[in-house]
Amino acid sequence: MPSRLAKIASLIVIVVSFIAYVAKAPAFPIASENLLPWSTWFLISAIANLVLWQRVMKLLAFSLLVIWFYAFAASIVPETSTAKVDVANIPRTPEAFVEAGEAIFNGKGKCNTCHTLDPSAPKSRCPDLSDVGARAATRQPGVSAKDYLIESTYEPHKFLVPGYGNIMPPVWKPPISLSETEIETVIAFLQDQGGQVDLTQFEPPVDIGSPGAIVEELPPLLVGDIERGKKVFVDGAKCIACHEVAGIEKPAGQTLDEGVEVVAAPDLSDIASLNSMRYIEESIVKPNALIVTGYGSVTVKTGGASVQGTLLSQENEIITVRVKDGAGVESEIKIPLSELDPEPIEELKNLKQQGYFWIEVTSADTGTKISGDLVEENEENVTLQVGGETQTVSKSNVKVQATIIDFDENKIVGELVSENEDEVTLIVDGEEQVIDTFDIDEGPTYSRAFGKRLDVTSPMPDNFPLLLSVADMSDLLAFMASLTGATEDTVVEAEVSDVEAEETAE
Ligand code: HEC
Ligand code: HEC
């Protein structure tokens, strides 16, 4: 009797573990440590079946074992063999380039991990590229479709699609590391999405083989220890409170420091296969430098009221903000950008960096107001899109408004005419008024323009460099470098290459 039970149990286990293995089910029992992969369960039960059963069932167990062996052998051969495209001798025809570009888009280039090619796909953190071949020509005034696509792949930070953060990696840099020809094929594939494929050869804007480019990409000194880094991630810095990583459970009852709220944050399971270590390091050390679309905090003023929440998306000049009311109930509100209140701007500096997208200035020569979307900015000038054309205004040639509060608590607001150590001259309501500097209590404060802005900040704490010791930080980075979404053996490879990097750095 017991042997019959054992027989049936082993039969059930072999069938279940075989199906689970083929279906790539998570390891069993589910626990963050001590995982037993289904392949191990399968092997144990296969041996039990071979021992316990005779004839027909033995044969069945044996055949399953053979099938499993082939599946297992195939799974340990790196998958790149299917995704790898050889572009060394590719014929220069649109068909060949588009075909190779598609394979790279979905394979080595990892473009499809961020981008979709389906306009009805749910909005993700990256733009859908289904008609980018046509759209590319309209992105920047005076920039052709092809030049735009070249810039998007070589120097994606130069122009950001409105509403999206600066998170696309330059695809020639590690870890993606596409070659010049591979990038050419991807560009052909992108042009094929609604546009014309144009195979005219071009000079890449970045010399990707130059020593400068390589030095910039040297990884940080990853002398850290992955296991210790995992502890920093979970217990020390409590990154796990906001971020998911496959295979790591959130400890129950974890709380963050006062003033820090747990928020939705990107899953980091395969962050290292998409981004360079430099990017990851910067994300931790300076969270505000790069903000992943859909996760940033924003405060905007509209109709005199302030709205604070998470900037979920920006589409067709309308932003969607997720706000929480006093009771903690969340809702989404949509605000057209045109309805934001213009705010006074004191200094005409780094306007884009501060999130300004619309500016109003008054020309000092003509006295006319000029307003429009901010197109370009340099030390001397700002360029605005006014109606159908662009207009460039010198930053030093705008009317300045000054606000002064005197000792009688009078607020005087007027156009600045001149100022020196002794007095400030303003035009208030059409009349010139001279104010003695001895009479000034506060000010003058200046406003050189009015602007509308989206000031997006990261909800991630920015004090990790202070909280973590250098050793903790390098352990943490070593752990982050191991997050490639892959299996244990690629982690070992990452460790080996860290050691190599260390050696070459010495
Ligand atoms: C880590 C995510 C990520 C990966 C990987 C990625 N991109 Fe992007 N991409 C973005 C984001 C975010 C934007 C929008 C911000 C910007 O303009 O840089 C973008 C913008 C673009 C644009 C401009 C789209 C438009 O509507 O104007 C193109 C073209 C593009 N990516 C192509 C590619 C190609 C080709 C690859 C693969 C070789 C790739 N991307 C890989 C995140 C990514
Ligand atoms: C309070 C919640 C919170 C905590 C704690 C937190 N993060 Fe973040 N993190 C975020 C949010 C939200 C984003 C997306 C916005 C942004 O880019 O800053 C983010 C972005 C990132 C990114 C970029 C992700 C991407 O997909 O490009 C990395 C890397 C990262 N965090 C690492 C860490 C590490 C490491 C720690 C611990 C030292 C940590 N975070 C702690 C909320 C948090």
- Mapping DSSP onto H, E and C, the string for 105-141 reads HHCCCCHHHHCCCCCCCCCCCCCCCCCHHHHHHHCCC
Helix/strand/coil (H, E, C) string of 159-215?
A: CCCCCCCCCCCCCCCCCCCCCHHHHHHHHHHHHCCCCCCCCCCCCCCCCCCCHHHHH
DSSP run (H or E) holding 13: helix 2-22
Ligand with the closest atom to the CA of 110? 1
CA of 423 to the centre of ligand 2 (A): 51
CATH number of 226-289+461-505: 1.10.760.10
Q: What is the pLDDT along the chain (506 residues), one digit of tens a residue?
A: 567 888 888 888 888 888 877 776 666 665 444 556 777 888 888 888 888 888 877 888 888 888 877 777 766 554 443 457 888 889 999 999 999 999 999 999 999 988 999 888 776 678 999 999 999 999 988 899 999 999 999 999 888 888 787 888 889 987 888 999 999 999 999 999 999 999 999 999 988 877 666 555 555 555 788 999 999 999 999 999 999 999 999 888 888 888 788 888 999 998 988 888 888 999 999 998 888 989 999 999 999 889 999 999 888 889 999 998 888 899 999 999 999 999 999 888 889 888 899 999 998 888 888 999 999 888 899 999 998 898 998 988 899 999 999 998 989 999 999 889 899 999 999 899 999 999 999 888 899 999 999 889 999 998 898 889 988 998 999 999 889 876 444 444 444 444 444 444 43
First to last CA, the chain: 68
Q: What number does the ligand 1 atom closest to the CA of 160 have? A: 17
pTM (global) more than 0.85: no
What pLDDT, on a 0 to 100 scale, did the predictor assign at position 265? 93
Domain 401-447 falls in which CATH fold?
SH3 type barrels. (2.30.30)
Q: Closest Cα to residue 114, out of 329, 302, 267, 317?
A: 267
Position 194 scores a pLDDT of 94
Distance, CA of 320 to CA of 334 (rounded, Å): 4
Ligand 2 centroid–CA 488 distance in Å is 24
Which residue among 108, 110, 111, 146 is best mutated to probe the pocket of ligand 1, counting the most ligand atoms within 8 A of its Cβ?
111
pLDDT at position 426, please? 92
In SS3 terms, 424-441 reads as: EEEEECCEEEEEEHHHEE
**Both structure tokens of 382:** 């700002």
Residue 455: count of CB within 10 angstroms of its CB: 14
CATH 3.40.720 corresponds to the domain 112-216? no
Cα of 110 from ligand 2 centre, angstroms:
21
Q: Edge to edge, what strands does the sheet with 343-345 contain?
A: 343-345, 449-453, 356-362, 369-377, 381-386, 389-394
The pLDDT value recorded for residue 215 is 54
Atom of ligand 2 nearest to the CA of 261: 1
Distance in angstroms (rounded) separating the CA atoms of residues 297 and 284: 17
Residues with CB under 6 A from ligand 2: 167, 237-239, 241-243, 260, 262-263, 265-266, 268, 271, 280, 283-284, 287, 290-292, 295-296, 458-461, 464, 476
Ligand nearest to the CA of 234: 2
Identify the pLDDT of residue 185: 96
Ligand nearest to the CA of 124: 1
Q: Which of 97, 102, 106, 126 to mutate to test the pocket of ligand 1 (most atoms within 8 A of CB)?
A: 126
pLDDT at 500: 41
pLDDT at res. 498: 43
Question: What residues are in contact with ligand 1 under a 6 Å CB criterion?
Answer: 109-111, 113-115, 126-127, 132, 135, 139, 149, 152-153, 156, 160-161, 164-165, 167-169, 171, 186, 190, 274, 293
CATH number, span 343-398: 2.30.30
- How many other CB atoms sit within 10 Å of the CB of residue 475? 25
CA of 270 to the centre of ligand 1 (A): 17
Query: How many CA atoms lie less than 13 Å away from 115 in the CB half-sphere?
Result: 20
Asked whether 140 and 162 are in contact (CB, 8 A), the reply is no
Task: Give the Å distance between the CA of 464 and the centre of ligand 1.
Answer: 29
Question: Which atom of ligand 1 is nearest the CA belonging to 189?
Answer: 35
Residue 382 sits at the vertex; the CA angle it makes with 349 and 452, to the nearest 5 degrees, is 70
Please report the pLDDT score of residue 58 as a whole number. 81
**Res 427: pLDDT:** 92
pLDDT at 76: 56
At residue 465, what are phi and psi to the nearest 5 degrees?
Answer: -60, -25
Q: Buried (b) or exposed (e) across 239-270, using 16+ Cβ within 10 A?
A: bbbbbebeebeeeeeeeeeeeeeeeebbebbb
The count of other CB atoms within 10 Å of the CB of residue 384 is 21
Dist. CA 214–CA 173, nearest whole Å: 9
Q: Is 305 helix (H, G, I), strand (E, B) or coil?
A: strand
The bridge status of strand 356-362 relative to strand 449-453 is antiparallel
Torsion of the alpha carbons at 300, 301, 302 and 308, rounded to the nearest 10: 50
Tell me the CA–centroid distance for residue 286 and ligand 2, in Å: 10
The beta-carbon contacts of 141-144 under 8 Å, at least 24 apart in sequence, are 141/375, 141/390
Do 277 and 173 touch, CB atoms closer than 8 A?
Answer: no
**Residue 318 parent element (H or E):** strand 318-324
DSSP state of 64: H
d(CA 504, CA 222): 12
**Cα–ligand 2 centroid distance for 266 (angstroms):** 7
Q: Whose CA is nearest to atom 29 of ligand 2?
A: 280
